[in-house]
Chains A and B, each alone.
Chain A
Amino acid sequence: MTLPVEILIALLVWGTLVGIDLVSLPQMMIARPLVAGTIAGAILGDIPTGLKLGVIFELLQYDILPVGAVRYPEYGPATVAAVATAHASAGVLGLGLGALVGLVTGLIGGITINVLRRVNSRIVHAAAAALESGDPSALVRVHVGGLLRDAARAAIVTATGLFLAWLARPLLAGALTTRGATLLAVAAIAAALAAGAAGTLRLVGRGPNLAWFAAGLGGGLLVAWLR
């Protein structure tokens, strides 16, 4: 992957914003892969690739219900890295390599979120006396510190993803035949679809919503068949 510096910086900034949006600020859902991927595609001048990778990672996102303090992968910056990878290699090869880079980046992102929360816990614990005194400046300082650490974390995850994107092409693209690239893409997309379906069924449950899910599935199949 060889991209102009200004495009790389734009992707890094976008990935960082996306990473912050996931939890810290303002949760307006630019962290959703659909949005992260489409804008990353627009930055690269390749919206169709951004949409396609966005859809793949959005399906994987259905596997996650972010309730309580549950741990989950981070698919926003991962989608940005995936789109950057896929843009460099055309067609099915791009999809497969992009998905692979995105999955690894998503795993790394999830780990960093957990590490950040542990670091925040220590800092909050250390600042307990100041917080218990009701000092508003101490309160704001601890909080803004958390926000800045999350921004740094998101930037590091995005940079790591873009680095993996840069590595992917020379390491893997030359070694893969068309059939191999197709197999990689098929595996990643099939897993995303399975995760999307399984996650949705977990959300829907066995109650009355299951009938609505079945009705939607039937309608979707009909439209797909008619097209």
Chain B
Amino acid sequence: MKLALARALLRLFAVQGSYNYERMLGVGVGVAEEPLLRDLGDAKYRPAVARGAHFFNAHPYLIGLAVGAAARAEHDGASPDQVERLREALCGPLGSVGDRLVWAGWLPFLSGLTLVGIALGAGWMAVAAFLIVYNVGHVALRWWALRAGWTHGARVSVALHNPFLQRAGAVLGPAMAFTIGAALPLTTQYLAWPFEAGARITFAVVAGLAFLALRWPGGAGHLNGLRLALGLAALALVVALVWP
């Protein structure tokens, strides 16, 4: 079974490869689960593979919990309805825990630290450290999720209440807020450095107005960073060409 788990883990790295609006990550989940179902026997194998590829959506790093749990439930003789209900029940929690832990915690925290490192002169070494440290956590989380799902099966909610997950979520939020807070002025200094005094004043005014536009109540639905940046760049280009 270790080989099957290793195969499933490898396939989990590509779980979003066929991302679509019909089954979301379902096809990728089915592909990742398939090695764990091979010893079920002919009568159970194909229906289990088909179930594995049904609609599924969650955080990609924690999907291993659902893959392992569903495969274990199939081995434990759970009925098709029970397996489907287990999958449905896991979508929401795996999405919200993963988003909070990774997208709103681990990733922006390390990104903020890297910005601080670059602004303080660490250069490419800060980027290399980011890649290494981030992926230690990334791979560990994927492996833990798959193992925990396979261990607990239908009782996988036990794993979601793991104290480490709770503590990590509680620590990473403030850590992320602090590091990005520190990174913003240092990054501003780093980016503003090549400009002369007059340009720095323009820079501060434009940044302030742009920030207010993005935070303006009701405007956030239509205006995002890309649209704002493109609009400002186009305006600057027109001004620069008309008034050289």
Is the beta-carbon distance between B225 and A198 smaller than 8 angstroms? yes
Number of interface residues of A (CB under 8 A): 113
Determine if B23 is an interface residue (Cβ-Cβ < 8 Å): yes
Which chain B residues lie closer than 8 Å to A62 at the CB level?
A: 108, 111, 180, 225
Q: Which B residues from 153 to 183 make CB contacts under 8 A with A?
A: 173-183
B89 at the interface (CB under 8 A from A): no
- Which of the 9-residue segments B65-73, B143-151, B187-195 touches chain A? B187-195
How long is the Cα–Cα vector from A123 to B19 in the complex, in angstroms?
11
- A136 to B7 alpha-carbon distance, docked (Å): 14
**Cβ-defined contact, B118 with A51, below 8 A:** yes
Known contacts A103-B230, A124-B27, A187 near B236 by CB under 8 Å = yes
Interface mask (A65-89 → B, CB under 8 Å = 1, otherwise 0) = 1111100010000000000000000
One of A11-19, A21-29, A155-163 at the interface: A21-29
In the A-B complex, the 4 residue pairs with the smallest Cβ-Cβ separation, listed nearest first, are A216-B181, A180-B240, A195-B225, A146-B18
**What CA separation (Å) do A143 and B177 show in the bound complex?**
37
Q: Given A54-B127, A63-B224, A125-B22: A195 and B214 within 8 A (CB)?
A: yes
Query: Is the CB–CB distance between B194 and A186 below 8 Å?
Result: no
Q: Is the CB of A223 within 8 A of B237?
A: no
Residues of B within 8 A of A61 (CB): 111
Query: Taking A95-B194, A195-B229 as contacts, is the C-beta distance between A216 and B241 under 8 angstroms?
Result: no
Which of B48, B180, B203 counts the most A-chain CB atoms under 10 A from its CB?
Answer: B180
- Give chain A residues whose Cβ lies under 8 Å from the Cβ of B134: 28-29
Q: Is the CB of B236 within 8 A of A117?
A: no
- Complex-state Cα separation, A52 to B50, whole angstroms: 48
Q: How far is the CB of A188 from chain B (nearest CB, A)?
A: 5
With both beta carbons as reference points, the residue of chain B lying nearest to A56 in the complex is identified as: B191
Chain B residues contacting A136 (CB-CB under 8 Å) are: 34, 49
Q: Which chain A residues border B174 with CB–CB below 8 Å?
A: 208-209, 212
Q: A35-B127, A217-B181, A217-B182 are in contact. List 5 more A-B contacts (CB 8 A).
A: A32-B111, A69-B24, A95-B194, A195-B225, A196-B187
Asked if A69 contacts B21 (CB within 8 A), the reply is yes
Partner of B185, one of A95, A189, A200, A220: A220
In the bound complex, residues from chain B placing their C-beta under 8 Å from that of A91 are: 194
**A-contacting residues, B8-46, CB 8 Å:** 13-14, 16-24, 27-28, 30-31, 34, 45-46
Q: Are B195 and A186 in contact (CB under 8 A)?
A: yes
22 of the cross-chain contacts (CB-CB < 8 Å) are A28-B138, A34-B115, A47-B123, A55-B119, A55-B187, A60-B226, A69-B21, A96-B236, A99-B233, A118-B21, A132-B50, A139-B31, A143-B28, A146-B20, A187-B236, A193-B184, A195-B226, A198-B214, A214-B181, A215-B178, A220-B116, A220-B181
> How many inter-chain residue pairs (CB < 8 Å) link A and B?
337
Q: Is A43 engaged at the interface, CB distance under 8 Å to the other chain?
A: no
Contact check, A26 vs B13: say whether CB atoms are below 8 A apart. Answer: yes
Q: Is the CB of A117 within 8 A of B21?
A: yes
A195 to chain B: closest residue by CB? B225
By a CB distance below 8 angstroms, the chain A residues around B60 are: 27
Q: In whole angstroms, what is the CA distance A171 to B20 when docked? A: 38
Residue of A nearest to B179 (CB): A216
B140 within 8 A of A: no
Given known A25-B14, A35-B130, A195-B214, contact A183–B239 (CB-CB < 8 A):
yes
A-contact 0/1 string along B216-244, CB 8 Å cutoff: 00001000111011101101110111001
Q: Tell me whether B215 is interfacial, beta carbon within 8 Å.
A: yes
